Structure 1
């Protein structure tokens, strides 16, 4: 039973080492597609590979949103290059947990007609009680939502080639043009750490929504990554409600809605992850992304006379206001 994970990654140097070390124990190979990281993510992945961990890293520089094409390409890489029996879709903030057997054994026991299985996400989050000095995210973040959200990710059987398309978010897909049935795997879950601090949340929301806007109105209308829109607009229109909000930056524990249930971290100590200031990192990454957008905008005009003509027309517009 050969298991290969595929992961899109962008600026995850606070969690990527723990992610690799923990999940590597359940997998035969890990494939990454970097989207232009400007922090230490790639350096950490290089060092992990040099240490002997089985991983491959590709890169694409895409300022916009193209998840369906990217996710489908990742599946085909795992299927064709690594002959995966199952392709495990993981974001860099998701950690495999199982209750009674290794993941390979659980998947090997699935009926042959199961082309995919759905694995629930269990959301963990930061609180004021976290030990800020602890660099291993799943050790530091111990509180999770009490009631499951119902959100799942797919694990897809290999060998489907070009017949399958993977949706944005890896929550579903189509096989031969029809939705893939995804029976639920009840003994597997993904511990999910989407917010490691308030600053991290602002950084993800800002860049996430800008990627959607950069992809054009059709992507906006499809509702892609719509959960980033409200926090982005709040940062844009009323930043003070977040920047001076201690309940947002260091939230108290919600004892009714949360439960203390840390996972068993299987990755051992970290060797390459360094402590960083989340506010400083958020500011730097936002500027890096803004620079990337601006450079692509300029390059588009340099290479396309039609694009330059459109921008020139925009610049020539004059509107009477009052």
Structure 2
């Protein structure tokens, strides 16, 4: 069973090595599309490739993006270059958990064009050991309830006919949705928030990407979960940064279960300890700089853009 993992990635230096080492045990190859990482993400991926781990990296430096188009490109590229039986779409904070027979065994018994695996969310808590660099070893408390947002794994061979939905929650071929079947015994352990600082980094940059992509991105609503934290950080930063329970959540047995996964990746060799607040600040400034430079290039290259800015500068509105 030949499985290729396809992933978009941006500034994931704290988790990418563990992600590769663990999930490589389930996959023949791992294909990454980097969106302009400015931390050590690319250096870590290059070092892992040099070790002999089966991965390749493409890059697209877009300050805003069309997620469905990017996901579909990932499928077409994985399918064309690596001829997989299945393409699994994973974010870099998702770790495969599979029972006896593994993911390949579950997929071998699947006749549908697509399969789904549930996301199991893990929480960062005050119980975490900050000295543990392997995220799935450090974060051991998961949600009691599984949210109804499974991720899709698509059979290979469809090529450019396949379109993958935003969020990797579904797929279609020639405009017709692929029937999906759940995989018993398989799940994705999901570590979307490794600290309060990491959450602020994701929401801040995520909402700026939505705004930079224009009206269509605002209308599709797939990223609206970034908006409220972004606006709180912008308008009332002390309500988040000044709240110890936000920066490190207390353990809540009413909604959490102690259930660490069986991490298969071994020790890390290329991940360097760093403070999440410093990572968040650096990532935010890098992204703000990229937005400003993109705006400047538009003015340099487009008379229409220069005219628009001139009109903005000429507008005057009486306020009070």
TM-score with structure 2 setting the length: 0.99
Match for residue 144 of structure 1?
142
Q: Deviations over 1:108-152 (max 9, x none)?
A: 1112xx100011000001000100000000000000000111210
Which residue of structure 1 aligns with residue 47 of structure 2? 47
Paired residue secondary structure (1:154) = strand
- Give the corresponding residue for 2:9: 9
Q: Deviations over 1:50-109 (max 9, x none)?
A: 000000000000100311111000000110100011001010000000122121121111
- 1:67-216 matches, within 5 Å, as 67-111=67-111, 114-216=112-214
Q: Which runs of 5+ in 2 are unaligned?
A: none
What is the rounded CA distance, in whole Å, between the counterparts of 2:146 and 2:91 in structure 1?
Answer: 18
Secondary structure of residue in 2 paired with 1:183: strand
| Number of aligned residues | 320
Query: Structure 1 residues 12-21 or 312-321, which shifts more?
Result: 312-321
Task: Output one character per residue of 1:284-319: Cα deviation in whole Å (capped at 9) or x when no partner.
Answer: 100000000000000011011101111111111111
Give the 3-state SS of the residue equivalent to 1:194 in structure 2. Answer: coil
Q: Distance in 1 between matches of 2:162 and 2:109?
A: 22
| SS of residue paired to 2:192 | strand
8 Å CA contact 2:16–2:92 kept in 1: the answer is: yes
The residue that corresponds to 1:34 in the other structure is 34
| Partners of 2:76 and 2:289 in 1: CA distance | 32
Distance 2:6 2:160 in 1: 17
Note the alpha carbon deviations across 1:34-62, whole angstroms, 9 max, x for none: 00000000000000000000000000001
In the alignment, is the contact (CA less than 8 A) between 2:141 and 2:258 conserved in 1?
A: yes
> Matched residues in 2 for 1:231 and 1:257: separation?
21
CA distance in 1, matches of 2:173, 2:313: 46
CA contact (8 A) 1:212 1:224 kept: no
3-state secondary structure, aligned to 1:288: helix
In structure 1, distance between residues paired with 2:74 and 2:131: 35
Q: CA offsets per residue over residues 11-46 of structure 1, 9 Å max, x none?
A: 000000000000001100000000000000000000
Q: Root-mean-square deviation (CA), in Å? A: 0.8
| Equivalence map 1:299-310=2 (5 Å) | 299-310=297-308
Provide the rounded CA distance (Å) in 1 between the counterparts of 2:82 and 2:287: 32
Displacement, 1:253? 0.6
**1:228 & 1:118 partners in 2: Cα distance?**
25
**How far apart are residue 265 of structure 1 and its match?**
0.3
Question: Where does the alignment leave 5 or more consecutive residues of structure 1 unmatched?
Answer: none
Q: What's the TM-score once normalised by structure 1's chain length?
A: 0.98
The structure 2 residue matched to 1:255, chosen from 253, 256, 281, is 253
C-alpha separation in 2, matches of 1:162 and 1:48: 29
Alignment partners' CA distance in 2, 1:265 and 1:224:
30
Match in the other structure for 1:60: 60
